[in-house]
Amino acid sequence: MKNFLFILLVILILAAAFFAQSTAAPDRQAPRLSEKLSALKPFIGPTWVGSIPNDPRRGEISLKWEVLLNGFAVRLGRNILNSDHWLETTYYWDESSGKVAYLAISNNGFVSKGYVGGQGEELISEGDQRGPDVNRKVRRIYKLDKDGKLYEDDQFRNSKADEWRRTHISVFVAK
């Protein structure tokens, strides 16, 4: 009888230990970001919600930056909420150029690719955009202000001779 009680006690202890481990919340540390992508770090985490001021027809826009591939890439999902417009951008370190590169694909047939750099407190992406009836240079400038607002300045030009033209400036807050 003593052996039976001892074995039962051991089984109960092991079962309790297993149950405690299997029901504990997983240890979820924030994904580490490659040092080469550190310029993107201030944008990662919250969902940024905003709009294009003075243009209510376009509606609310959400931006979400996420760390991918063990920190060697960052994805930006962009959604204009009252439309069917989605844009996915992947940022990664391009070893051959020694720069952060990006590839952006939208659900309306546009593809952009280029490089990202910084100038002071700004993050600047600049590249080529191709799509239905479009072949142009594009630039997006992101800037966080001291109050935590994120500004996105969207620009384009049709040739190297053209001046940059502003499409719009959007203002976002972290949610």
pLDDT of residue 16: 47
Is residue 29 in some structural domain? no
* Residue 25 falls inside a structural domain: no
Q: Which domain holds residue 67?
A: 35-174
What span, in angstroms and rounded, lies between the C-alpha atoms of 96 and 68?
21
- Average pLDDT of each block of 10 consecutive residues along the chain (175 residues)? 45 45 47 89 91 71 92 91 84 95 92 89 91 90 92 86 85 90
The count of C-alpha atoms lying within 13 angstroms of the C-alpha of 16, restricted to the half-sphere facing its C-beta, is: 6
- The pLDDT, as a whole number, for residue 13 is 46
Residue 118 in any domain: the answer is: yes
Q: What is the CATH number of the domain that holds 64?
A: 2.40.128.20
Other CB atoms within a 10 A radius of the CB of residue 116 amount to 23
**Residue 61 and residue 49 in contact, taking contact as beta carbons nearer than 8 Å:** yes
Confirm whether 12 is domain-assigned. Answer: no
How many domains does the chain divide into? 1
